């Protein structure tokens, strides 16, 4: 039972950490504004800072809203116009559906981690016992290994990595946009997503190290397993045994 719960903890932890950070980034105005400034999105779209902040707010609201189309209007050259064309709107419907799926997976993994920790706490009679610590260590190690693969793929050939991600995540080609006509890719060019991927990996890796540290401390400070104590007790000489041996030698 303890082994199964520790395995559940280790398997749920990477997804919980990663998807929590995805949700935080997707709903953070500071993240959007940082990316827009860093990649010159104002010049590429013709939108000033005030309009870009409003656009960021529209994305945040959209990811938290029930399923619907994303209708954003902006002022360009003195006229109010839709920001996105039908193809971009269709892609954003797919993105919103993906975000909702990721949120459900995040919640399921959070429940798995909580159940594993509570059950192990009851079984081991301490909040973080040896099995829970091993589960946290395993989850942290698995998280770091997966993040290392993502970081390598990002740095070696981000274009190929990003294309493969879209082929897996979406069942159509609405994500194939043209910066000559599509504002969505002007707002979020590939370098924006490369920076976002590395930021996500870095933040999650730091959290995994902290979790792994907590797991190491839990294992290091946990009492020795009962089987080891029993073995030591059987192997230890009785109080009178040494005296008996000494008397027999004499």
| Partner residues linked to 80 by β-bridges | 75
Burial label, 121 (beta-carbon count in 10 A; 0-12, 13-18, 19+): middle
In which residue are the tokens 């079984």 written? 123
Q: Which of 3-12, 72-81, 102-111 has the lowest mean pLDDT?
A: 72-81
Question: What digits encode the pLDDT tens for the residues 161-207?
Answer: 999 999 999 999 999 999 999 999 999 999 999 999 999 999 999 99
Tokens of residue 121, six digits: 């706490």
Q: Which residues contact 59 (CB under 8 A, 6 or more apart)?
A: 26, 32
Question: What digits encode the pLDDT tens for the residues 123-171?
Answer: 988 888 999 999 999 999 999 999 999 999 999 999 999 999 999 999 9
Instruction: Supply the pLDDT for residue 222.
Output: 81
Question: What digits encode the pLDDT tens for the residues 15-67?
Answer: 999 999 999 999 999 999 999 999 999 999 999 999 999 999 999 999 999 99
Rounded to an integer, what distance in angstroms lies between the CA atom of residue 189 and that of residue 164? 16
DSSP 238: P
Tokens of residue 151, six digits: 């970081």
In which residue are the tokens 């559940």 written? 8
Instruction: Supply the pLDDT for residue 140.
Output: 97
Select from 85, 94, 64, 97 the least CA-distant residue to 185: 85
Rounded to an integer, what distance in angstroms lies between the CA atom of residue 94 and that of residue 171? 9
Cα–Cα separations (whole angstroms), residue 52 to 10, 35, 55, 188: 40, 11, 5, 12
Select from 128, 125, 99 the least CA-distant residue to 9: 128
Burial label, 22 (beta-carbon count in 10 A; 0-12, 13-18, 19+): middle
CB burial readout 71-84, b (16+ within 10 A) else e: ebebeeeeeeeebb
Tokens of residue 34, six digits: 């940082």
Query: Does residue 116 contact residue 12 with C-beta atoms inside 8 Å?
Result: yes
């Amino acid at each position: 039972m303890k082994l199964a719960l520790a395995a559940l903890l280790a398997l749920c932890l990477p997804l919980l950490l990663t998807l929590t950070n995805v949700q935080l980034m997707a709903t953070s105005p500071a993240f959007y504004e940082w990316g827009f400034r860093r990649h010159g999105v104002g010049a590429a779209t013709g939108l000033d800072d005030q309009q870009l902040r409003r656009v960021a707010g529209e994305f945040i609201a959209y990811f938290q809203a029930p399923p619907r189309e994303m209708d954003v209007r902006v002022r360009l050259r003195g006229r109010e116009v839709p920001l996105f064309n039908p193809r971009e709107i269709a892609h954003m419907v797919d993105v919103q559906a993906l975000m909702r799926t990721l949120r459900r997976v995040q919640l399921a993994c959070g429940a798995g981690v909580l159940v594993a920790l509570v059950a192990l706490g009851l079984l081991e009679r301490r909040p973080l016992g040896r099995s829970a610590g091993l589960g946290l260590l395993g989850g942290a190690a698995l998280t770091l290994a997966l993040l290392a693969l993502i970081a390598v793929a990002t740095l070696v050939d981000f274009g190929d990595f990003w294309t493969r991600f879209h082929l897996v995540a979406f069942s159509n080609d609405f994500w194939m946009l043209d910066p000559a006509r599509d504002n969505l890719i002007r707002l979020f060019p590939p370098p924006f997503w490369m920076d976002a991927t590395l930021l996500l990996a870095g933040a999650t890796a730091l959290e995994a190290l902290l979790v792994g540290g907590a797991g190491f401390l839990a294992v290091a400070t946990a009492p020795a397993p009962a089987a080891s104590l029993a073995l030591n007790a059987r192997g230890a000489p009785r109080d009178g045994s040494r005296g008996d041996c000494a008397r027999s030698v004499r």
